[in-house]
Structure 1
Amino acid sequence: MLSMFLYVCLGAFSGVRGHFSEEKQPQESTIQKPTVVLAIIARNAAHSLPYYLGAIERLDYPKDRISVWAATDHNIDNTTAVLREWLTVMQIYYHNVEWRPMDQPTSYPGEMGPKHWTNGRYEYLMKLKQAALNYAKRQWADYIMGYYRRTAEYFPTKHRHRRGCYPVPMVHSTFLLDLRKEGVKKLAFHPPHPDYSWPFDDIIAFAFSCRVSGVQMYLCNKQRYGYLNVPAKPHQTNEDDRGNFVHLQLEAMIDGPPMYPSKHVFLPPRHPDKMGLDEVYLINLRRRPDRRDRMVRTLYEQDIDVKVMDAVDGGALNSSDIKQLGVDLLPGYYDPFSGRTLTKGEVGCFLSHYNIWKEMVDLQLERAVVFEDDVRFQGNFKKRLLRLMEEIDLVELDWDLIYLGRKQVNPTQEQPVENVRNLVEAGYSYWTLSYVISLQGATKLLNAEPLSKMVPIDEFLPLMYDKHPNEKYKQHFPNRNLQVFSTHPLLVFPCHYAGDPEWVSDTETSTLWDDDSVRTDWRGSHKTLKGSSSSAGLQSPISRDEL
């Protein structure tokens, strides 16, 4: 848990007039910034605290105009040590620091776990917040920052489809309060107002205090000010909370701005592994270093060791290059939506995956996972995949390929696999965002000799597991016995979809495979559009909607 309150003391503002109309401000005498009190309350937050403190360090505000009030209590991790380490280095830069650590006890009476909120915990937090508020008032402080708690306009505001500054009934965790207003003098976290009879909760109690004092709360979402972690459930652990925070980090790398840790806090080294597989492949075009860097960091934050495979750049090939590689079009193939044939981008994409299958067979790798470089992950991806593979081994399932990310073409019910949770027999599917593949599966794909009768890879795979609707195409692939399954719900999704401002496709935006003069783009093909099965949220609605 992390809470932050920002209290600002105003000496004078730029543009404020003097005491007398005749008084003049010399041009060389600039008005100093308001003084700020930054109050931090942290508990069991060692996994997120370095990034939180890093964001504070990078605030574009003079540190000598900031005072820090910091408290931590009832920790079972090293939150106290992290905060102490940071304050030891940073205290010389701030105007004043007040530090209130409490190492013992590590839990509250009656607490079921570190994420369980008892009345005693609520009361202690309210007392801490009141102490911070009193400190700020002594420092002549003025403001607190805010986050929205649910109202009828919750979702449009939360997702920033509706932007502005809006009156709201309460705010969550972080807020900005103008203590110069007369009504604010009556505000308190603890003790609650005598007329307060609702649940013993610091957020609700303070909202009630605002209401009876005539202080209106507002939410301003014109800018993205930061991130709040999805709160863990009462029965969950610190490890669950850490998993939620890692997912928040990964999402920030896509939607931005990314999070960076404090340079003054020690981060223990990670120990990435290959998740029990023989190899983890990442396909990336050399001319897309931004995607490579994001994906490598994304996998590292999940403790996944990866091998980057240079993708075949179809855009750099001309028609004669392609023919020299032994590539020829499957007779009669046309894109089912646009009517065009293959693009050079699709050729490059196919060859990139083909090279991985070939390396697996050459090195006799039993199992590998493949990622393209434009994906985002379901929360707790690694844990989910490890559990899935364990259950597959337990039932001795005969499998060749398992989709982790795809577009289900026909939104029909797919047969679940008995005794394996969240696994179905895959139907006709597009996209090869990510999949697990076996040596047996790679061998089958190579033995089909697909280069001499090429179709896009996401048409080839359904042909090989006999779920493609085109009977004429099937005749060219007699051994359609690939055993293919899919996670359900999916574990991997596209970063962006066709039509999004940030969306870029090197397969669709290309030229025809045998004609360098004919350019193509995504608008003729529905393959790249978001499918119904891919629209599921990256976290369960219960946890996502908690804030």
Structure 2
Amino acid sequence: MLQIAAQMPSADGILEREVLTLRPSILAVFLARNKAHVLPYFLGYFEHQRYPKDRISVWIYSDHNQDDTELLLRRWKDAIRGQYRRVELHSIVETLYTQTGVNNWPKERFLHLLRLRDRALNVARERDIDYVLYIDVDNLLVNPNTLSELIAQKRDIVSPMIEPLVGSVYSNFWCGVTDKGYYKRTEEYIPTLHRARTGCFEVPMVHSTYIVDMRSPGVENFTFIADEDYNGVVDDLLVFAYQVKKAGMSMFVLNTQIFARMPPPSHDYSSLDDERKNAEELCVNYLAIDGPVVQSEYLPYNKPTLTDFGLDKIYVINLHRREGRRLRLKHVLQHLGIQAEFVTAVDGRNLTDKDLKEFGIQMLDGYLDPLKKRPLTVGEIGCFLSHHRIWAEVVSSQFTSVLILEDDPYFYPQFREKFSRLLEDVRNKEIDWELIYLARKRLENTRELKVENTETLVRPGYSYWALAYMLSQSGAKKLINQQPLGKMMPVDEYLPLMFDRHPRKEWKAHFTNRNLKAFSAQPLLIRPTHYTSNRGYISDVETLDTELKQQKDEL
């Protein structure tokens, strides 16, 4: 904190001495290239930082653009004039070096990046700024307290741990390096990444987003430019780590909270379109975990109009006690512009013997889970009842077509466009359908037949999941008319049985008219947010305690 003495008049006019406390000053460095697709989000989250804007200067550099990056940055700079301490934008249009693609990194590009970071460092020195924030413009600071938390650590260089994507272990820090400075997996990495241990930990490498304390004793000797003693590979990360160590400084990663998110890392062969899809996937499926998706109020963006795709209704099945899933999915659907109705699921944990009798529920004779060799769980009963209620409403309301979602869908990029294309295919080709999967787990390793004259549909084999599917009026009638509550199995076993692709003949013998006209999107448009092997996976249908197991066994 910077303290300034000031003369302040009191109520009776006598001057009194008062100490004003100012927060440390920050120079935020944005190096932006071909990031127009993510800038509205990046700048939106940056604007939401709970740090005095008059203590933040912004230094922006942009070049080699093939999109509207520079245009958006200029609009933003003009729109927020006067809010930040200082905002400057440097850009050039000429080509500085040759590269074979937007994500190709020749030696000249690494050197150029290091020179730019060093240039910003010297700007901070000249202006006597306390901290320099280096941040990649696809790193989104979803925690509004990130800047304050980083400064509070009082470290030479500290980075907020960036959340890994589901199923990934990629983040922005290393816990170990080889003799040549390359990444090395250590025992500390996964516990740090998954927060089995939390704190501010010294590490040999941070990247993508970090803050440098310009008051650190070693910073006067620090530079991003490799000197003649450096004999390693010209790579911005390796040179950075070498120079930090040479200056006698240390790097730390902070993982006490969720601070930031970023798309999957790019590859040399990644195109600009690949980058856009990765950013969209991040924005649609991950940012909603932290709350409503934030975009800059100073940049234009196309807010999607609400749509139900011409369907009678879009249902979302959600347990009342799963508020986190409900809030996340509401934010996702809002961001996608999808109009849906949330339906409270039947909670199997609350079912009593009286409930089971009133519903007429009996387990299918001879049913055992194919993998776990156990009978139905009450969670599976609640799930089936939840879907069955919607089927009944489709019939009673005489709906023509609906979409049914469970509460953990992960939408693939360009979902709206691809789903609209599928519906157009179905309507224009007059497909006689009753059920269409948008998500499923294939259980057969056989080739599935493509539907003639379509680019979006196949005839599915034996599949699991009732995560996302379309259902017609006639399809709902067929599912209900078999009176499945009196011979119940899990709903995702029942669906393939009803289009006669289930392998268990003894189960099929209990059901007639197994002629549901079923199709599947190809490629699939949705998957679960978590698979069973992913950290954070939760099942509401497979877990049981002793009391529930006793109820289940009485079926």
Helix, strand or coil for the counterpart of 1:370? strand
RMSD: 4.8
Tell me if the contact between 1:72 and 1:80 (Cα under 8 Å) persists in the aligned partners.
yes
* Cα pair distance change 1:507/1:148, threshold 3 Å: closer
Q: Name 2:263's counterpart in structure 1.
A: 229
Where does residue 80 of structure 1 map in the other structure? 70
Q: Is 2:45 the counterpart of 1:55?
A: yes
Q: How does 1:302-381 map to 2 (within 5 A)?
A: 303=336, 305-308=338-341, 310=343, 329=362, 332=365, 336=369, 337=374, 345-346=382-383, 348-355=385-392, 358=395, 362=398, 364-365=400-401, 369-378=403-412
Tell me the amino acid that sits aligned with residue 34 of structure 1. Answer: P
Deviation (angstroms), 1:358: 3.8
* Counterparts of residues 22-101 of structure 1 (less than 5 Å): 29-101=19-91
Match of 1:283 among 296, 316, 320: 316
The number of residues matched between the two structures is 484
- Cα offsets for 1:209-247 (capped at 9, x unmatched): 223333232222222221222233333333321211122
User: Within 5 Å, which residues of 2 pair with 1:454-493?
Assistant: 455-466=489-500, 468=502, 472-482=506-516, 491-493=526-528
Per-residue Cα deviation, 1:473-501 (whole angstroms, up to 9, x for no partner): 42221233446677798941155879998
SS at 2:315's partner residue? strand
Counterpart amino acid of residue 148 in structure 1: F
Q: Secondary structure at the match of 1:127?
A: helix
Letter aligned with residue 152 of structure 1: R
The offset of 1:463, in angstroms, is 2.6
User: Does the C-alpha gap of structure 1 residues 388 and 266 become closer, same or farther in structure 2, counting only changes over 3 Å?
Assistant: closer
Query: Equivalent residue for 1:417?
Result: 448
Report the counterpart of residue 107 of structure 2 in structure 1. 119
The residue type paired with residue 239 of structure 2 is A
Instruction: Decide whether the 8 Å contact of 2:362 with 2:486 is kept in 1.
Output: yes
Quick one: distance in 2 between partners of 1:241 and 1:522?
A: 51
User: Is the aligned partner of 1:133 residue 2:121?
Assistant: yes
Q: After superposition, where does 1:128-527 map in structure 2 within 5 Å?
A: 128-143=116-131, 144=133, 145-146=158-159, 147-149=172-174, 150-153=183-186, 154-190=189-225, 192-253=226-287, 255-256=289-290, 259-270=293-304, 281-284=314-317, 291=325, 294-299=328-333, 301=335, 303=336, 305-308=338-341, 310=343, 329=362, 332=365, 336=369, 337=374, 345-346=382-383, 348-355=385-392, 358=395, 362=398, 364-365=400-401, 369-378=403-412, 401=435, 403-406=437-440, 414-417=445-448, 426-427=461-462, 429=464, 431-436=465-470, 444-445=478-479, 448=482, 450=484, 455-466=489-500, 468=502, 472-482=506-516, 491-494=526-529, 503=538, 505=540, 520=548
1:532 aligns to what?
A: none
TM-score by length of 1: 0.70
- Residue 416 of structure 1 deviates from its aligned partner by 3.1
User: Contact conserved, 1:188 with 1:209, CA < 8 A, in 2?
Assistant: yes
Percent identity, please.
Answer: 30
SS at match of 2:446: coil
- CA displacement at 1:59 relative to structure 2: 1.7
Counterparts in 2 of 1:273 and 1:76: CA distance versus 1, 3 Å: farther
Deviations 1:169-225 (A, max 9, x none): 3322211222223332222224x3223343433222222222333323222222222
Secondary structure, counterpart of 1:177 in structure 2: strand
> How far apart, in 2, do the equivalents of 1:187 and 1:334 lie?
69
Question: Aligned equivalents of 1:311 and 1:57: distance in 2?
Answer: 36
